[in-house]
Amino acid sequence: MDENKSYLYDFIKGLWKENPVLVQLLGMCPTLAVTNAVENAIAMSVAVVFVLTASAIIISLIRKLIPAQVRIASYIVVIATFVTMADRYLAAFYPAQSKALGPFIPLIVVNCIILGRMEAFASKNGVFRSILDALGMSFGFAIALLLMSSFREILGNGTWLNMRVLGSWWDNWMVMILPPGAFLTLGTIVGVSRFIQTKLKKA
């Protein structure tokens, strides 16, 4: 594999083949909790893109200075710093979103996707490749979140990003916006994406 190709692969593997949510089943808590409206899913995705990329830059820069025994603690401190920044920014400029997401912005600290990428990739690779990997993974996360929230908001409320898409004949499926709808939607999407992937492998 030549250089360019491997750089490209660093980025695109997170989108589908190693999609953190649909394939690796990481970061399920925010995926289930914030996808009751597309608006919330977008706010969450932006926060994750920022935190994951910024922490990947810092960790890959200082990876040779961190002693192996305390690496997890150091990752958490770096991640927590960026999460605090994202949390304060959201609270100051978008108070409505910050309120809707509740404790889930601070909870990005313990999101397994971020810690997982630090451990598996940023601590072993250079800055440029770590950025590509972080962007790919966080876009993969964003894609899964958008998919989930679109299904839930359209079926549950008849709207998409607060725009009416289904006519007044549509009876809102309230359950899709409530907690059970999150589990049912994610279960279906995971099942369908596995089905497609096994079909692709056979082909």
Q: Fill in the amino acid letter for 102.
A: G
What is the footprint of other proteins within residues 57-76 (CB under 8 A)?
A: 72-73, 76
User: CA-CA distance, 107 to 83, in Å (whole number)?
Assistant: 8
Q: Using the rule CB under 8 A, is 195 a contact of other proteins?
A: yes
Asked whether 119 and 79 are in contact (CB, 8 A), the reply is: no
| Total chain residues near other proteins (CB under 8 A) | 43
Q: Using the rule CB under 8 A, is 175 a contact of other proteins?
A: yes
Q: Using the rule CB under 8 A, is 46 a contact of other proteins?
A: no
In whole angstroms, the minimum distance from the beta carbon of 167 to other proteins comes to 27
C-beta of 108 vs 143, nearer to other proteins:
108
Residue choice 7, 165, 179, 200 for contact with other proteins (CB under 8 A)? 179
C-beta of 127 vs 189, nearer to other proteins:
189
What is the footprint of other proteins within residues 109-148 (CB under 8 A)?
A: 109-112, 115
Residue choice 62, 77, 161, 200 for contact with other proteins (CB under 8 A)? 77
Stretch binding other proteins (CB under 8 A), from 7-15, 20-28, 127-135, 158-166:
20-28
Chain residues binding other proteins by CB under 8 A are 25-26, 28-30, 32-33, 72-73, 76-77, 80-81, 83-84, 87-88, 102-103, 106-107, 109-112, 115, 175, 178-184, 186-188, 190-192, 194-195, 198
